[in-house]
A = this chain, B = another copy of it.
Amino acid sequence: MIDLREHCIQLLANRGVSVADIADCAVYLQSAYFPNLKREDMVESVMDVLGKREVQYTIMTAIAIDKAADRGDIDDPILLNMLREDDGLYGVDEVLAYSICNVYGSIALTNFGYIDKDKFGIVGELNKKNPDGSYPGNHNTFLDDIVGAIAASAAARYAHSQEN
C-alpha cells in the first residue's frame, strides 16, 4: 500500500516546501510559550499532522489545483484568473486550510489566522510576488495556506502534548 505521508512530503518538496520549513513556522508560533523550542522538537508534531488521512487528502487536492492553475488546465477562465492572481476575496484556499486545523482544535485555528497574516518564513516565501505584482513560476494560491495550516496544527498539537 502507498505511504500517503511520504507521497505528500514529496508533493510538498516538489513545490519547494520541506518538513523543516514547516517545523520552523510551528516553532515560531510556540516561541512565546516555549522560548527554547527547537526545530527538532517540532518535527514529530509536523509528521503526526502529515500522517492524518484527512490532512493528506487536503494537501493532495490543494497542490493539484495549484498545478492545474500553473498549466492553465482549468476551463473556467474567471476561476483561473482568480487563482493566478490569488484574489484576496477568494477564500476556498483558507477553507481547505481550516479543514486541517479543525482536526487539532481551536488553538490550531487561531495559530493559522496569525501566521496567515504574519507570513513568517516559508509561508511568506510562498507569497512572494514579482515587482510587477505577478507571481514567479508556480502559483501557490492554495499551498501557502495549507503549509500555514500544517504548521498551525503541529504547534497546537505540541501545546496540548506539553500539558499531558
Q: Please report A residues at the B interface, Cβ cutoff 8 Å.
A: 2, 4, 7, 11, 53-54, 57-58, 60-61, 63-65, 67-68, 71, 73-76, 78-79, 82, 88-92, 94-96, 98-99, 102-103, 105-107, 109-114, 116-118, 159-160, 163
Contact = CB atoms under 8 A, between A and B. Distances in A.
A110 B89 contact: no
Does more than half of chain A's interface fall in helix, strand or loop, or is it mixed? helix
Contact of A76 (B64, B89, B109, B113): B64
List the number of copies, as a whole number.
4
B106 A98 contact: yes
A60 B88 CA distance: 16
A53 B109 contact: no
A137 to B, nearest CB: 16
A17 B74 CA distance: 20
A82 B95 contact: no
A5 B109 CA distance: 24
A119 to B, nearest CB: 11
A105 B54 contact: yes
Contacts of A159: 88-89
B74 A94 contact: no
* Residue of A107, A113, A116 with most chain B CB atoms under a 10 A cut-off: A113
Contacts of A57: 79, 82, 89-92
A65 B107 CA distance: 20
